[in-house]
Amino acid sequence: MKMGILRHVAEFLRKRPPWKMRWVPMNGCFKCSQIAAASIGDELPAHKIPLQGRLDGSTQGVSGESELFYKNIKRLNQIENEYKGRMKAGEDEESFRKQEPLVDQIGLSNQAEAAVSKLRRLRREEQLRADPGWQERVKGIDQQIEGVMREVNLGVER
């Protein structure tokens, strides 16, 4: 039975050009994502490799940064909503600034959120175009996204 599945996957890969393989869902089964990544020259992050992702436990890279980034963005959005609500109610904003020093990071978080959204859109466009060397450009965009996320995370830690 396993041999039949492997034969089916091999035939599937043989019939489809590599640029169409990106449509294989990467969050499906591990084998499908590994085969699809290998066929188009993409690298899988460590957390998508079954055993290595569990043994590494590393928070380095985009995955570790993005989880903390979105937690920080959520927290800063809550602070922003409370700050705006207090301003509308006519309460003293300086007392809230002293109570919550992250108010100063609200503008940075809004800009970072927009920048990450724009970079992700650019990344999708590069993947769809599939020009020669697109993998290198996508890796560069991933590094930019990681840098933006890291800056926000460091700003919140201070």
CA–CA distance, 120 with 127 (Å, rounded to integer): 11
39, 107: one domain: no
Q: How far apart are CA 46 and CA 52, in angstroms?
A: 6
| Neighbour-count burial of 149, counting CB atoms closer than 10 A to its CB (0-12 exposed, 13-18 middle, 19+ buried) | buried
Query: What is the rounded CA–CA span in Å between residue 92 and residue 65?
Result: 35
Q: What is the count of structural domains for the chain? A: 2
Shared-domain flag, residues 11 and 66:
no
Residues 133 and 78 in one domain: yes
pLDDT of 149 higher than 60: yes
Structure-model confidence comparison of residues 107 and 51, the more confident one: 107
Question: Which range has the worst mean pLDDT, 8-17, 33-42, 113-122, 126-135?
Answer: 33-42
Based on the fold, state whether residues 67 and 50 are members of the same structural domain.
no
What per-residue confidence (pLDDT) applies to 47?
56
* Mean pLDDT, residues 82-92 taken together: 89
Question: Alpha carbon of 9 to those of 16, 41, 48, 84, 99: distances in Å?
Answer: 11, 17, 19, 55, 59
Asked if residue 132 and residue 80 are part of one domain, the reply reads: yes
- What is the residue range of 158's domain? 59-158
Residue 126: both structure tokens together: 């590069």
Last residue of a domain, one of 29, 57, 85: 57
145 touches 114 (CB < 8 A): no
Say whether both 70 and 42 belong to one domain.
Answer: no
Question: Do 98 and 20 share a structural domain?
Answer: no
